[in-house]
Amino acid sequence: MLTRRRFLAASALSGAAVLARFETQAQARFATPLPVPRLVDARGSDVAIPLVLAQGTHAYRAGQFVTALGYSAPVLGPAIRVARGQRLTMAVDNRTERPTTVHWHGLIIPSAVDGGPHNAISRGGVWGPILPVDQPEATAWFHPHPHGDTAPQVYSGAAGLLLIDDGSGEQLGLPRAYGIDDLPLILQDRWFDRSGAPVYEPSPMEIMAGFRGDTVIVNGVVSPIARVPAGVIRLRLLNAANARIFDLRFSDRRVFHVIASDGGYLSAPVAMRRLLIAPGERYEVLVDFSDGAEVVLETGPDGNRPMMGMMGAAPPLTDGGQVMKFAVDRNTAAAASMPKSLVPVSRLDAARVAARRQFLLNDMMMGGMMGGGGGMGSMMAINGRPFDMERIDVETRLGTIELWHIVSQSMAHPFHVHGTQFQILTLDGRRPPPHLQGWKDTVLVTREAQILVPLTQPASHGQPFMYHCHILEHEDAGMMGQFTCS
Ligand code: C2O
Ligand code: CU
Ligand code: CU
């Protein structure tokens, strides 16, 4: 049914009907104020922070209220601010009909509390992990990670933010008035049906290419507008889409400065006009709005697809790639200025690696893998082996650094590792560009990448860490492996 509707939408790319649809959407564009996830300041607190995963009612498109999934919110979840050096106690309550887990993406914590597929919370169950947070200031996030059901649960709305605080941003004078000059932007895409409800029914081709919608949402709504003070604003960008890679730029092509990647600050701001952000990645950027001009944040098309002509290409965006608008309030000046330098990033020593490993990300039909009646889903694997909860793929030694060589077979894959922040040594054989020289937990591997992975957190056979592609359809279909650390 959905497939048919989408087939019609895709095949009628000319004509008055499409034009009319486009115009209706244009009228509502940039009318909804940007929602900002509720801030929960848990710094120094030893009280358990409740997270109730439940269905709620939410309007992705103005006025169209539909069912969504969220953590103590109708959709998405809170932004939890936590201090470096504290223990953060969580109280997760699964009030949905399906088993779930909550994974703390980007935290350097033991696998026993990491929320991977082995930490299942049954329907109606509760989970109370204590997270020892001890890592540099960064923007991390949390989302479900149940075996084989991550993509639908994230797509339904479950995702929240973790803001790790160590005082360095304050010392640097970075914008830090949450919701005013420090704005989280959770970027996702959806297919909506006529009622305004997101539809998730990936075809075999969409499992192979990743499920990408034709409409971008920011913090859970279509085409919002943010009013910002006239000055330097910090945007915490998170790509929480299942599969879409955003190619961000401003409509006036203004320069912005990347100050942080997944695991924390870069050593100095990096001036850019375009920024690719793949699923799972975060970047923090500073944008100067002191000229008072209105500007639209845009994305280019996502060209990622398996190697078979146009098959599996991402659908064009109905709003022409216009993500959201910024309007400047000239009466309020933002306090912050653009710093010259940030936090020095100490380079991991490639000469010290204890082991080298190779990971081939299999995304195509392979001889021997299609036997036993396996469908298209069984093509997704790493080193020829689809994910198996009962199999440990890699055993690592606690306290060492390893060099991982990741090779993508045909598409680009955002490769993510749990329980660590790594550094990119090479990307397609070259030194990575400056904004990719800081701490990362997810790297977009177009052809190949070499990363240096510090292993500082324990992971047992019963509760191993995961490494996987963050295109959630790939992850659920088997492009994931497990490692221990002891
Ligand atoms: Cu955000 Cu294992 O994932
Ligand atoms: Cu993760
Ligand atoms: Cu992938």
Å from CA of 470 to ligand 1 middle: 6
Give the residue, by CA position, lying nearest to ligand 1 atom 1: 105
Report whether 415 contacts 449 (CB < 8 A): yes
Kindly tell me if the per-residue pLDDT of 279 is higher than 60.
yes
Two structure tokens written together for 223? 């085409």
pLDDT for position 332: 83
- Res 311: pLDDT: 81
Place of tokens 């106690």: 89
User: Average per-residue pLDDT in the chain?
Assistant: 92
In angstroms, what CA-CA distances link 467 with 187, 232, 483? 22, 36, 8
Q: What CA–CA distance (Å, rounded) separates 152 from 283? A: 25
Note the pLDDT of residue 27. 55
Ligand minimally distant from the alpha carbon of residue 263 = 2
Bridge partners (DSSP) of residue 186 are 238
Supply 461's token pair: 């056979």
Average pLDDT rounded to a whole number, residues 197-202: 97
Q: Is 153 helix (H, G, I), strand (E, B) or coil?
A: helix
Q: pLDDT digits over 215-240, tens only?
A: 999 999 999 999 999 999 999 999 99
> According to the model, what pLDDT value does residue 364 have?
80
Q: According to the model, what pLDDT value does residue 312 have?
A: 86
Q: Name all residues whose Cβ lies below 6 A of ligand 1.
A: 103, 105, 143, 145, 280, 416, 418, 466, 468, 470
Find where tokens 């304050």 sit: 170
pLDDT higher than 70, residue 104: yes
With tokens 């564009």, the residue in question is 29
**pLDDT class of 24 with cuts at 50, 70, 90:** low
Ligand with an atom nearest the CA of residue 466: 1
pLDDT at position 159 over 60: yes
Query: Which of 55-69, 98-112, 222-236, 371-385 has the lowest average pLDDT?
Result: 371-385
State yes or no: pLDDT of 173 exceeds 50: yes
- Rounded to whole angstroms, the Cα distance separating 198 from 58 reads 11
For ligand 1, what atom is nearest to the CA of residue 280?
Answer: 1
373 or 127, which is more confident: 127
Is residue 80 a contact partner of residue 92, using CB atoms and an 8 Å limit?
A: no
d(CA 471, CA 279) in angstroms, rounded, equals 6
| Closest to 139 (Cα-Cα) out of 255, 239, 269 | 239
- Asked if pLDDT for residue 286 goes beyond 80, the answer is yes
SS3 for 242?
coil
What pLDDT was estimated at residue 372?
44
| Per-residue model confidence (pLDDT) at position 336 | 75
For residue 310, the model assigns a pLDDT of: 74
- For ligand 1, atom 3, name the residue with the nearest CA: 105
Q: What is the pLDDT of residues 37-61, one digit of tens each?
A: 999 999 999 999 999 999 999 999 9
Let me know: does 382 contact 406? Beta carbons within 8 Å: no
427, two tokens = 């990307």
Structure tokens at 424: 């990119």
Mean pLDDT across 255-273: 98
Three-state secondary structure of 171-184: HCCCCCCECCCEEE
Q: Indicate which atom in ligand 1 lies nearest the CA of residue 106.
A: 1
The residues that bridge with 222 in the sheet, in sequence order, are: 217
CA–CA separation, 237 and 139 (whole Å): 9
CA of 140 relative to ligand 1 center, distance in Å: 11
Give helix then strand counts, H and E, for the chain: 6, 33
Cα 465 to averaged position of ligand 2 atoms, centre (Å): 9
More confidently predicted of 23 and 101:
101
Mean pLDDT of 373-387: 75
Atom of ligand 1 nearest to the CA of 468: 2
Q: Report the range of poorest mean pLDDT among 221-230, 375-384, 424-433, 450-459.
A: 375-384
Is residue 377 predicted with pLDDT exceeding 50? no
- Listed in sequence order, the residues at least 6 apart from 328 whose beta carbon sits closer than 8 Å to its beta carbon are 227, 228, 229, 230, 289, 291, 292, 293, 294
Closest to 222 in 3D by CA, of 27, 12, 8: 27
Flag whether pLDDT at 483 surpasses 70.
yes
Q: What is the pLDDT of residue 25?
A: 53
How far is the C-alpha of 102 from the C-alpha of 210, rounded, in Å? 22
Q: Which atom of ligand 1 is nearest to the CA of 442?
A: 1
- Whole-model pTM? 0.94
Higher pLDDT, 78 or 23: 78
Write down the pLDDT at residue 123: 97
Rounded to whole angstroms, the Cα distance separating 471 from 61 reads: 25
Q: What is the pLDDT of residue 365?
A: 60
Q: Is the pLDDT of residue 280 over 50?
A: yes
Q: Which helix or strand (DSSP H or E) is residue 257 part of?
A: strand 256-261
**Burial level of 391, CB count in 10 A (0-12/13-18/19+)?**
exposed
